[in-house]
């Protein structure tokens, strides 16, 4: 099993450009999450999904959109990138958010917006 | 709203020293508690978790944590750290009526030989 994979690993964008980050999991998990990690701020939840076809906002959703058309994939889109979106983005998945079930994380995507 | 506080932002220890990292959360209901670790250049992985039962939980690599409900705390401990424990440690809380995991800001641990 590959677990949780993310593409791309690195990306540099100019302000105003758009891009999509792809997260894929092969564990048949229902729940998927996108976080951003910034120095001194820990991980903050951007958007999440509790099943195929569903999405919900997290703590910092502005400037991002997501889609979950297939159970195994969760896409994060930046329509018009801003320097404030320079960050490391992590995707995670879990089969539940109950009974102390853990989340499994991908390797991250380092995005720089100039 | 839920929040998680990790008061130690950067901890520097020598090998064999004891470690305790603080974690406090604000939520009055029932919670699931986690410690995740991120080794340099790697993704987050679970160190240990508390769901129910014995409030003293043991994790991988000799780590343990104690849930003290009255203090809203879930501090991480290790009696003797190793150089390989150098990493960033994140406490996280899930309130049981929500689908979200709220992370603390992290503690960077550096262990010198």
The secondary structure of B61-107 as a DSSP string is GG-EEEEEGGGTEEEEEESS--GGG-EEEEEEEEETTSS--EE---E
Range ranked top by mean pLDDT from A22-36, A95-109, B89-103: A22-36
pLDDT at A97: 75
Q: CB within 8 A of A60, min separation 6: which ones?
A: A36, A44, A45, A46
**How far does A72 lie from chain B, in Å, by closest CA?**
18
Q: How far apart are CA A51 and CA A48, in angstroms?
A: 9
Q: Is B16 on the interface with A (CB under 8 A)?
A: no
Q: How far apart are CA A34 and CA A70, in angstroms?
A: 16
**How far does B14 lie from chain A, in Å, by closest CA?**
23
CB contacts of B52 in chain A (<8 Å) are 100
Q: How far apart are CA A91 and CA A7, in angstroms?
A: 10
pLDDT at A96: 83
Cross-chain CB nearest to B105 (options A42, A50, A92) = A42
Q: How far apart are CA B71 and CA B33, in angstroms?
A: 14
Q: pLDDT tens for chain B, 113 residues: list them.
A: 778 999 889 999 999 999 999 999 998 888 999 999 999 988 899 999 999 899 999 999 999 999 999 999 999 999 999 999 999 999 999 987 787 889 999 999 999 99
Q: Is A58 on the interface with B (CB under 8 A)?
A: yes
Q: CB within 8 A of B26, min separation 6: which ones?
A: B2, B3, B4, B5, B72
Sign of CA dihedral A26, A18, A56, A105: positive
Q: Which residues of B36-48 are buried (b: 16+ CB within 10 A; e: fewer)?
A: bbbeeeebbebbb
Q: Is A41 on the interface with B (CB under 8 A)?
A: yes
pLDDT at A74: 98
**How far does B4 lie from chain A, in Å, by closest CA?**
10
Is residue A77 a contact partner of residue A65, using CB atoms and an 8 Å limit?
yes
């Amino acid at each position: 099993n590959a677990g949780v994979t993310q593409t791309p690993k690195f990306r540099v964008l100019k302000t105003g450009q758009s891009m999509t980050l792809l997260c894929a999991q092969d564990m048949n998990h229902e729940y998927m999450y996108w976080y951003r990690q910034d120095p001194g701020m820990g991980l903050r939840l951007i958007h999440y999904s509790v099943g195929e076809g569903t999405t919900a906002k997290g703590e910092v959703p502005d400037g991002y959109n997501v889609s979950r058309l297939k159970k195994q994939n969760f896409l994060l889109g930046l329509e018009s990138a801003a320097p404030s979106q320079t960050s490391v983005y992590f995707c995670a998945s879990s089969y539940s958010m109950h009974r102390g079930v853990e989340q499994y994380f991908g390797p991250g995507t380092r995005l720089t917006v100039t | 709203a839920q929040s998680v506080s990790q008061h130690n932002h950067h901890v520097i220890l020598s090998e064999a020293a004891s470690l305790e990292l603080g974690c406090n959360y604000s939520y009055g209901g029932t919670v699931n508690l986690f410690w995740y670790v991120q080794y340099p250049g790697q993704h987050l992985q679970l160190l240990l978790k508390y769901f129910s039962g014995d409030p003293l939980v043991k994790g991988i690599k000799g780590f343990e944590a104690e849930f003290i409900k009255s203090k809203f705390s879930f501090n991480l401990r290790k009696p003797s750290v190793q150089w390989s424990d150098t990493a960033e440690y994140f406490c996280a809380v899930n309130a049981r009526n929500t689908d979200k995991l709220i992370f603390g800001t992290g503690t960077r641990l550096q262990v010198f030989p």
